[in-house]
Amino acid sequence: MAGEQRESCKQPTHSAFGKISTLFPKHTHFDPSEQGMLHFEHEYNHYTITARLAATSGALGCEFLRRMCAVLKISQDHVIYAFSAAMAAVATVESGSTVVFETVDALGGQVTHEGTTLDSLDFSRVNPATGPVAIAGAQPGDALLVEILDIVTADHGVMLAVPNLGILGDRVSTPSTKVVAIGGQTVTFNQWSLPKQPMIGVIGTAPQTGSVPCGTPSDHGGNMDTKDIRAGASIYLPVFQPGGLLAMGDVHAAMADGEVCGAGVECSADITVRVHRVPGFAIQRPLIVTQEAMMAVASAETIEAAAKMALEQIVQFLVDKEHLSFNDAYMLCSLVVDMRISQLVDPLLTVRAVLPQTYLTAPLHL
């Protein structure tokens, strides 16, 4: 019955409605006879809660619905500074759950004004990631599929130029910090208004062995600093430990490929994701999926080594899933796969191999 109602509904036009229906696709529908109203239905402990919200409710409406649905919010009190094989979950959720991760900027929120000097920073609080959250039933050999639904940033972020940080760090003689205003659509840097494009710098699962600092990317994900990890994209992460153990942080309101000075617009943010267990989808390292492309992400000590690992994952995918010969897959990649530099500044360097979805007969799920 509810399904029939949903099918007959018009697409919402108001952006707040769009956001609510993305966050709660099973709970919302739009009645064409009552334009401007959102109908919301949620079953909770055998009670059905129904609500009608006006378009004008906007962010407040979203927060209200989040609370009604008891969407789990992981507060920034739960942070890790390394992804470790032995870390313990702060919460366990069922596959298909929506979770909000409240994240702190990469400097631990310590730079609040441009006079903040770097030697005043507590470096033990740098590069926090919020979590980890276990996904019930996830076992080594599965993958997690993390749909990135929404990234709501703080109203300001921080940029840095620091001696020996980034690819021209040897040219920086004195450090400087800049507080950058983040608006609804733009980020203001000096006289320039840049598009606001929030992305997740650090996202990953528990590694196979040992412990990887949050500032370092590796096969488990971590500090990949890849600008395609943004709202509307999904990321598949390998599960190496029971529950997978998902954590994330280091949002950048803007960043270009390379992250040349070692920083994006570093900001705190609330990240809303829906997380699924994908049984038996054994991947070696992360895959990003967007409407247009599938991207294999790899990190290594050199760009060449990272590029080789990323390309191998795409070629192997084409061999295994599309049944191409190795040589055909390899040649196809030379024609249609763009090799992009994600970042050049972390302890390992990150490259992504980008295959347009049009070359897959069965595009990967977003």
Where on the chain is the footprint of Zn ion (CB under 5 A)?
Answer: 106, 201, 250, 266
Kindly state the smallest distance separating residue 5's Cβ from Zn ion, in Å.
Answer: 44
Query: Closest CB to Zn ion among 160 and 333?
Result: 160
Instruction: State how far the Cα of 342 lies from the Cα of 351, in Å rounded to an integer.
Output: 5
Query: Closest CB to Zn ion among 147 and 266?
Result: 266
Kindly state the smallest distance separating residue 246's Cβ from Zn ion, in Å.
Answer: 18
Classify residue 230 by its DSSP letter. Answer: B
Crossing angle for the helix pair 303-322 and 326-336, nearest 10 degrees? 120
Query: Closest CB to Zn ion among 274 and 352?
Result: 352
Kindly state the smallest distance separating residue 9's Cβ from Zn ion, in Å.
Answer: 40
Kindly state the smallest distance separating residue 201's Cβ from Zn ion, in Å.
Answer: 4
Kindly state the smallest distance separating residue 348's Cβ from Zn ion, in Å.
Answer: 15
Residue 147 pairs in a beta bridge with: 234, 274
Q: Which of 317, 311, 301, 309 is nearest to 339 (CA)?
A: 311
Q: What angle do CA 244, 246, 250 make, to 5 degrees?
A: 150
Query: Closest CB to Zn ion among 106 and 145?
Result: 106
Residue 265 pairs in a beta bridge with: none
Query: Closest CB to Zn ion among 229 and 333?
Result: 229
Query: Closest CB to Zn ion among 142 and 250?
Result: 250
Instruction: State how far the Cα of 318 lies from the Cα of 325, in Å rounded to an integer.
Output: 8
End-to-end CA, the chain: 27
Q: What angle do CA 358, 252, 221 make, to 5 degrees?
A: 60
Q: Is 119 helix (H, G, I), strand (E, B) or coil?
A: helix
Kindly state the smallest distance separating residue 229's Cβ from Zn ion, in Å.
Answer: 12
